[in-house]
């Protein structure tokens, strides 16, 4: 009887160990690939991990930004910034409230917004306001499905920003799209 009890305990211990390994593997696998890219790696290493970027922008100070957007329906755009020697400075998701808060009204131009956030999901023109509006999808504070709107005057200067709920994810309006 003791022998049988020992076999049952051993089998149970193996199952618990296997379950713990499986959970640990799943948690480790939940880390997005872009978060595993350390500063200092080369462009070739980034291209191997993430593929070719969909957008590339050059900053006046020599920094190159590669963007990996998930539009039109995605809420993330991964930005990889490289120094003049082609080494990673930092990697970040730029579709965040914190990143949008960096926009400087009255100073930024359309080029600044495009370099920071990429091509917008949608553009519109409001003739009475004389404003062009660029729209980006994002997850505000990691919880709410939102749209960020950038309003530009005819001279291309950022004049206003606005955050609104994303109707694409509104359960009351789900059949409109």
CATH 3.30.1450.10 fits 34-176, yes or no: yes
Task: List the pLDDT tens digit at each of the 177 positions of the chain.
Answer: 565 566 555 555 555 444 444 454 555 567 889 889 999 999 999 999 999 999 999 999 999 999 999 988 899 999 999 999 999 999 999 999 999 999 999 999 999 999 999 999 999 999 999 999 999 999 998 889 999 999 999 999 999 999 999 998 777 766 655
Q: Contact, 123 vs 114, CB < 8 A?
A: no
Give the domain ranges of the chain: 34-176
């Amino acid at each position: 009887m003791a022998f049988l009890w020992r076999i049952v305990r051993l089998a149970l211990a193996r199952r618990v160990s296997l379950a713990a390994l499986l959970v640990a593997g799943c948690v480790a696998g939940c880390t997005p690939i872009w978060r595993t890219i350390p500063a200092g790696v080369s462009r070739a290493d980034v291209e191997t991990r993430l593929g070719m970027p969909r957008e590339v922008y050059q900053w006046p100070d020599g920094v190159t930004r590669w963007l990996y957007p998930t539009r039109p329906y995605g809420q993330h755009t991964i930005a990889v910034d490289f120094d003049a020697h082609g080494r990673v400075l930092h990697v970040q998701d730029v579709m965040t409230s914190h990143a949008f808060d960096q926009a400087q009204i009255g100073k930024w131009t359309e080029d600044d917004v495009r370099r920071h956030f990429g091509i917008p999901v949608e553009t519109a023109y409001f003739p009475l306001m004389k404003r062009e509006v660029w729209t980006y999808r994002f997850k505000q504070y990691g919880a709410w499905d939102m749209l960020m709107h950038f309003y530009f005057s005819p001279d291309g200067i950022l004049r206003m920003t606005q955050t609104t709920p994303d109707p694409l994810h509104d359960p009351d309006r789900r059949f409109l799209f």
